[in-house]
Amino acid sequence: MPQHAPAAEPSTTVPGAVHRLVDVPGGRIHLLEQGTGPLVLMIHGFPETSYSWRHQLSAVAAAGFRAVALDVRGYGRSSAPAPVDAYRMTAHVADNVGVVHALGEETATLVGHDWGSSIAADSALLRPDMFTAAALLSVPYAPWNPVRPTDGFARIGGDEEFYVSYFQQPGRAEAEIEPDVRGWLSGFYTSLSGDTMPPPGTDSPFFVPAGGTMRDRFTGGALPSWLPQADLDVYSADFERTGLTGALNRYRNVDRDWEDLAAWDGARLTCPALFIGGALDSSTTWMADAIAAYPTTLPGLVSSHILEGCGHWIQQERPEEVNALLTKWLHTVHA
């Protein structure tokens, strides 16, 4: 596929990084690129963009790698197809394959956070010939299992509604978020950050009371220390322009993913891997069994780290620690 010239410099500026648009079979992907060497592809989660890797790009480039952070389809300046099923996991894997080809490379190391962690893991699982190592941040690897995801999420909610279930109906979460995108993002980031999240024993923002919204349980007050107003402005501007439908459609494909990936029932992820989680992150605590199973499910694991006092936004909350762990692992993988 042809590669576009560097894109006109948008408002999202990361010092030293070049903005680029590349064609992939599913549309167009926007990238931030810095450095030369083996390709390291960074995949963000919800609700973020390539900007969430602003602290890692220069560190990975300085360590001798070609650091590339993408806007996942539906986010930022990447294509946002209209059909809900265009956001199934296999489409994201295909986008990653297309990016590697568009950049003139044959293989890549993947680094993913949140949904990006799942996209990275499944990319390495489905295309081990191309994606030769995977660093997973915040969300642990867990193999396919026989429980249909929406059935499992419905049971988690009990008398209330688990947030993934709340996100399923197109337009419903958008109606909550889009009248005040900046305020919603601020509340979501704050409620999942180690230094500003609700204290233990209080109602969780991941559970929606009958007739309520997620926003009802967001933490108020000051922004977390890692998120100055200028960075919140960057995220807000992107999502005010694109809306949240593309981002939310990832959640609306969990059952399609389950059907698409059934052949990988119980599959181990054998490539060299790294896991970094936050001790205060619900993704880490809820999936503690998945982390404990790593000797079986992730036999190529090089190292696993839980950062005390850290919440969900791990590479932004603790950039220096994450950069040190990530670059050490990259040098081990590429030794």
Rg over CA atoms, the chain: 19
For 252, what's the count of Cα atoms within 13 Å in the CB-facing half-sphere? 21
What is the distance between the terminal CA atoms of the chain, rounded to a whole angstrom? 31
Nearest CA-CA partner of 149 in 14, 304, 258:
258
Please name the residues in contact with 222: beta carbons below 8 A apart, sequence gap of 6 or more.
Answer: 190, 196
24 touches 102 (CB < 8 A): yes
119 touches 91 (CB < 8 A): no
Residue 312 a catalytic site member: yes
Please name the residues in contact with 136: beta carbons below 8 A apart, sequence gap of 6 or more.
Answer: 112, 117, 120, 121, 273, 274, 275, 276
Length, in residues, of the chain = 335
163 touches 207 (CB < 8 A): yes
β-pairing, 66-70 with 161-162?
Answer: unpaired
Nearest CA-CA partner of 329 in 36, 14, 17, 59:
59
Residue 305 a catalytic site member: no
Q: Which among 19, 44, 113, 312 is annotated as catalytic?
A: 312
β-pairing, 39-43 with 66-70?
Answer: parallel
Q: Which among 71, 95, 114, 122 is annotated as catalytic?
A: 114
Would you please indicate which residues are annotated as catalytic (active-site) residues?
A: 114, 312
